[in-house]
Amino acid sequence: MKTPMLAIVAAVLAFSPLAQAQSSGHNHASHASPAASAEVAQGTGVLKNIDAAAGVVNITHDPIPALKWPAMTMGLKVRDKKLLEDFKPGQTVKFGLAKEPTEYVITSLTVVKK
Ligand SMILES: [Cu+2]
């Protein structure tokens, strides 16, 4: 009874590092191009809503000339949900934007005024 279980566990342990290496290699090949991930613009705005679980903020931002964006209130994803720790609605923030394949995402976030 015990031996087959151990054999299965050993097989899983033996194969999982390989599987992880393959999948992370694939992700890097398909997503990490410097041109697609570099910060391309900076903006300032007021946080209206923060969905830390989804990694999305609703923000009323000033015009962003680099992107030809007028002032507006919009939803933006953050690249890393950890960026949203310690932020609250109503704060004025500076943020950096990078162009991902299908949309702009926030890559940095700092409080200007609480
Ligand atoms: Cu906008």
> Helix/strand/coil (H, E, C) string of the chain?
CHHHHHHHHHHHHHHHHHHHHHHHHHHHHHHCCHHHHCEEEEEEEEEEEEECCCCEEEEEECCEHHHCECCEEEEEEECCHHHHCCCCCCCEEEEEEEECCCCEEEEEEEEEEC
Instruction: Name the residue among 51, 59, 62, 48 with its Cα closest to residue 90.
Output: 48
> What is the tens place of the pLDDT at every residue in 6-21?
776 665 666 555 444 4
Residues 42 and 82 in one domain: yes
**How many domains does the chain fold into?**
2
Check pLDDT > 50 for residue 23. Answer: no
Residues 9 and 51 in one domain: no
Cα 109 to averaged position of ligand 1 atoms, centre (Å)? 15
Cα 41 to averaged position of ligand 1 atoms, centre (Å)? 12
Cα 31 to averaged position of ligand 1 atoms, centre (Å)? 24
The residue segments making up the domain with residue 55 are 35-113
CB burial readout 34-44, b (16+ within 10 A) else e: eeebeebbebb
Q: Which of 6-10, 78-82, 85-89 has the lowest mean pLDDT?
A: 6-10
Residues 19 and 65 in one domain: no
pTM of the predicted protein model:
0.67
Residues 10 and 48 in one domain: no
Residues 24 and 75 in one domain: no
Cα 70 to averaged position of ligand 1 atoms, centre (Å)? 7
Residues 28 and 39 in one domain: no
Cα 72 to averaged position of ligand 1 atoms, centre (Å)? 5
- Looking at every residue in the chain, the average pLDDT score rounds to 82
Query: Which is more confidently placed, 92 or 10?
Result: 92
Cα 74 to averaged position of ligand 1 atoms, centre (Å)? 5
Cα 49 to averaged position of ligand 1 atoms, centre (Å)? 14
